[in-house]
Structure 1
Amino acid sequence: MSSLRNVLYFQAGLAVLANMFLLFFYIFIILGHRPKPSDLISCQLTFVHIMIVLIGGDILLTDVFESLNIGNDFKCKTTFYLFRVMRGLSICITCLLSIFQAVTISPNTSLLANFKQKLKKYMIHIFLCIWVFNLSFSTNRIFYVGGFTNVSETNQMRVTKSCSLLPMNYIIRGLTFTISTSRDVFLVGVMLTTSTYMVIILFRHQRQYKHLHSDIHLQDSPEKRATQTILLLVIFFVIMYWLDFIISFTSDMLWRYNPVILTVQKFMMYAYPTITPLVQISSDNRIIIMLKNLKSKQHQRFT
Structure 2
Amino acid sequence: GTGRMAASELTTGIIFLSQTVVGALGNSSLLLHYLILYFTGVRHTDLILQHLIVANLLTLLCRGIPQTVAAFSVKYFLSDIGCKLLFTLHRVGRGVSICSTCLLSIFQAIKISSGNSRWAELKVKASKYIDSFVYLSWILCLLVNAVFPMYVSGKRSSTNFTSLKDFGYCSGVRHDTTRDSLFAALLSFPDAVCVGLMLWSSSSMVLILHRHKQRMQRVHKTCSSRSSSESRATKNILLLVSTFVSFYSFSCLFQISLAVVYHPNRFLVSTAAVVAGCFPVFSPFLLMSRDTNASRLCLTWIRNGKTPDIMRNM
TM-score range, shorter chain: 0.7 to 0.9
Verify the 8 A CA contact 2:144 2:186 in the aligned structure 1: no
Provide closer, same or farther for how the CA distance between residues 142 and 149 of structure 1 changes in structure 2, counting only shifts above 3 A: same
Is 1:106 the equivalent of 2:113? yes
Is 1:280 the equivalent of 2:287? yes
Matched residue, 1:67: none
- Separation in 2 of the partners of 1:136 and 1:76? 18
User: Which of 59, 79, 84 pairs up with 1:52?
Assistant: 59
Give the deviation of 1:296 after TM superposition: 8.7
- Separation in 2 of the partners of 1:276 and 1:79? 22
Verify the 8 A CA contact 1:156 1:167 in the aligned structure 2: yes
Matched residue, 1:188: 195
- Separation in 2 of the partners of 1:172 and 1:251? 16
Verify the 8 A CA contact 2:66 2:169 in the aligned structure 1: no
Give the deviation of 1:292 after TM superposition: 7.4
- Separation in 2 of the partners of 1:266 and 1:279? 21
CA offsets per residue over residues 44-71 of structure 1, 9 Å max, x none? 10011111111011359x9xxxxxxx97
Verify the 8 A CA contact 1:48 1:86 in the aligned structure 2: yes
Pairing 1:223-238 to 2, within 5 Å after superposition: 223-238=230-245
Verify the 8 A CA contact 2:88 2:148 in the aligned structure 1: yes
Provide closer, same or farther for how the CA distance between residues 263 and 112 of structure 1 changes in structure 2, counting only shifts above 3 A: farther
Verify the 8 A CA contact 1:76 1:163 in the aligned structure 2: yes
Give the deviation of 1:268 after TM superposition: 1.2
Q: What is the root-mean-square deviation of aligned Cα atoms in Å?
A: 2.8
Provide closer, same or farther for how the CA distance between residues 212 and 218 of structure 1 changes in structure 2, counting only shifts above 3 A: farther
Verify the 8 A CA contact 2:216 2:223 in the aligned structure 1: no
- Separation in 1 of the partners of 2:222 and 2:174? 68
Pairing 1:12-161 to 2, within 5 Å after superposition: 12-30=20-38, 32-58=39-65, 72-109=79-116, 111-150=118-157, 155-161=162-168
Provide closer, same or farther for how the CA distance between residues 291 and 124 of structure 1 changes in structure 2, counting only shifts above 3 A: closer
Unaligned runs of 5+ in 1: 63-69, 298-303
Provide closer, same or farther for how the CA distance between residues 188 and 110 of structure 1 changes in structure 2, counting only shifts above 3 A: farther
- Separation in 2 of the partners of 1:122 and 1:292? 34
- Separation in 2 of the partners of 1:243 and 1:25? 30
Q: Which amino acid aligns with 1:21?
A: S
Matched residue, 2:16: 8
Question: How many residues are matched?
Answer: 288
Matched residue, 1:173: 180
Give the deviation of 1:204 after TM superposition: 0.8
Provide closer, same or farther for how the CA distance between residues 134 and 254 of structure 1 changes in structure 2, counting only shifts above 3 A: same
Unaligned runs of 5+ in 2: 1-7, 70-76, 305-314
> More deviation in 70-79 or 85-94?
70-79
Q: Matched residues, percent identical?
A: 28
Give the deviation of 1:290 after TM superposition: 2.5
Verify the 8 A CA contact 2:198 2:241 in the aligned structure 1: yes
> SS in structure 1 opposite 2:156?
coil
- For normalisation by structure 2, the TM-score amounts to 0.83
CA offsets per residue over residues 100-130 of structure 1, 9 Å max, x none? 1101111112743321111111122212221
Give the deviation of 1:221 after TM superposition: 2.1
> More deviation in 260-269 or 14-23?
260-269
Q: Which amino acid aligns with 1:149?
A: R
Provide closer, same or farther for how the CA distance between residues 130 and 74 of structure 1 changes in structure 2, counting only shifts above 3 A: same
User: Which of 263, 266, 274 pairs up with 2:273?
Assistant: 266
Verify the 8 A CA contact 1:148 1:161 in the aligned structure 2: no
- Separation in 2 of the partners of 1:215 and 1:74? 62
